[in-house]
Structure 1
Amino acid sequence: MTTFALLHGAWHDAWCWDRVTPLLKQAGHDVIVPRLPSDDGSADFDTYADVACTSLRECSDDVVVVAHSLAGATGALIPSRRPIRHLVYLCASIPDGGVALAAQMGIMASEFGEGWLAALTEPDDQLRTQWADFDFVRRVFYGDCDEATQAAAIEHLRPQSAYPFAVPCPLTAHPSVSCTYVVCSEDRVVSPEWSRGKARDIGANLVELPGSHSPFLSRPQVVAGVLLAAAST
């Protein structure tokens, strides 16, 4: 039995995996969905990784970490903290060693990189922002979701501090763990072209899906199937 650790991205929370979690459990596996400290203005990706590892403290080594979007920077740090069997990047940003994620936004992000700052509120004293332009959110995060799903997702979004974006990645090299990169062909947040190149660079198995940035909402059964396949390798 595998434990799937499902890591959410920026402005999101554990709720975003609610359609995938029961499918993994029905297949006989455990699922842990930690709440990362996105709204903590002092937390960097090392802190995020510590929170994720604490949630896995009682688990065996048979762990598959699944990192969506911004959580790619967290997922990449976990193998140095505890054994895992496989790492899955889902439409994920993976920073280069010694480089802050903010410095890579121009090449990593597509439409998102061009408009996200204008679509957010002004940062507060902990550099936290929230979304103000919900048309932008619907288009880039949930482009292939139905209106009810979009509305429910927007209702659940939470503040995200910009602090971890500005901290250089502590990795010197990508961890030597087997991994899969799942790219969505219509992703407007993380560029599909960049994702394919990054998958090649880190030696990941590449899986291509149709659709936008949040397939756990629009295609949960497909995503669950990909994760189950990764767990069987």
Structure 2
Amino acid sequence: MTTFVLVHGSWHGPWCWERLIPELDRCGHRAVTPQLPSADPAASFADYADVVAAAVDDDDTVLVGHSLAGYLLPLVAQRRAVRHQVYLAALVAEPGLSFAEQQRRDGMLNPAYRGALRPVAGGTEWVDRDLARELLFSDCDEPTVAAAFGRLSGQANHPLRQPAADAEPPAVPTTYLVCTEDRMLDPSWSRRVAERRLGVRAVELAGGHSPFYSRPEALAAVLVGLI
């Protein structure tokens, strides 16, 4: 039995994995879903990584990071031994650049997302449901969109403005899953950065930015196939 540590991205929480967990369970594996301190205006990505590392309780672990959680994968692998790491429609840190600087340079995220946010206590929260449907949940049905949108929470700005560590990622077997119809994170950027920064060819997964909701069975099959 392998443990999948599933790490949520910005504005999300462990709830977003609720459809994937039963699929992994049916395959004989277990899932752990840490809650990141995303809304804490003082927390850094190193603090986020400490939370995730504390959830890694054995060496037979596959670490899965969605979206912004891609920034955490090398930090966690420096703290704990993992069997495999998976970037799921995820950002890949550029050493020496903050997320904000990388976004200005590369434009990897659809700039329309900024119009969906409002400032709150040192961060942002998502307030535009139509843009959430368009960018985050484009291939999900309306009840799923409504339920997910109602649970989105704040994301602090502090870690997004801190330079990424100027160090090579640990030598951990790595897979990048690019969602081919992703409207939030540019799939062509994902393919390029997977080769340039991670040294791997991206694995293609049909659908939008949130496959854990729109196609959990297919996502589970890919993840289990890695082991």
Would you call these one fold, judging by a TM-score over 0.5? Answer: yes
> Which of these residues, 187, 190, 205, is aligned with residue 195 of structure 1?
190
Q: CA deviation at 1:150?
A: 0.5
Contact 1:109 1:188 in 2 (8 A): no
Query: Superposition pairs for residues 32-51 of structure 1, below 5 Å?
Result: 32-51=32-51
Which residue of structure 1 lines up, in the alignment, with residue 218 of structure 2? 222
**Secondary structure of the residue that 2:25 maps to in structure 1?**
helix
How far does the alpha carbon of each residue in 1:4-45 deviate from its partner, in whole angstroms, 9 at most, with x for none? 000000000001001011111121112110001101011111
Number of residue equivalences: 225
1:222 is paired with a residue of what secondary structure?
helix
- Secondary structure at the counterpart of residue 96 of structure 1: coil
TM-fit CA distance, 1:205: 4.6
Write the mapping of 1:113-152 to structure 2, written as runs, cut at 5 A. Answer: 114-124=111-121, 127-152=122-147
Give structure 1 stretches of 5+ with no counterpart: none
- Structure 1 length as normaliser, TM-score? 0.93
Question: What letter corresponds to residue 178 of structure 1 in structure 2?
Answer: P
Counterpart of 2:119 in 1: which secondary structure? coil
Q: Work out whether 1:86 is the aligned partner of 2:84.
A: yes
Q: Counterpart in 2 of 1:76?
A: 74
Q: For structure 2, which runs of at least 5 residues remain unmatched after alignment? A: none
Aligned pairs for 1:161-172 (under 5 A) are 161-172=156-167
Does residue 181 of the first structure (1) align with residue 185 of the second (2)?
Answer: no
1:206 matched to 2:202: yes
CA distance in 2, matches of 1:20, 1:156: 17
In the TM superposition, what whole-angstrom CA distance separates every residue of 1:190-224 from its partner, at most 9, and x where no partner exists?
A: 11011001111212352101211001100000100
CA distance in 2, matches of 1:119, 1:15: 21
* Aligned 8 A contact 2:14 2:33 in 1: yes
Percent sequence identity over matched residues?
43
Cα displacement (A) at 1:99: 1.1
Determine if contact 1:65/1:75 at 8 Å carries over to the other structure: yes
Structure 1 residue 110: Cα displacement: 4.1
Q: TM-score, normalised by structure 2?
A: 0.95
Q: How far apart are 1:179 and its partner, in Å?
A: 0.5
Give 1:168 shift. 0.7
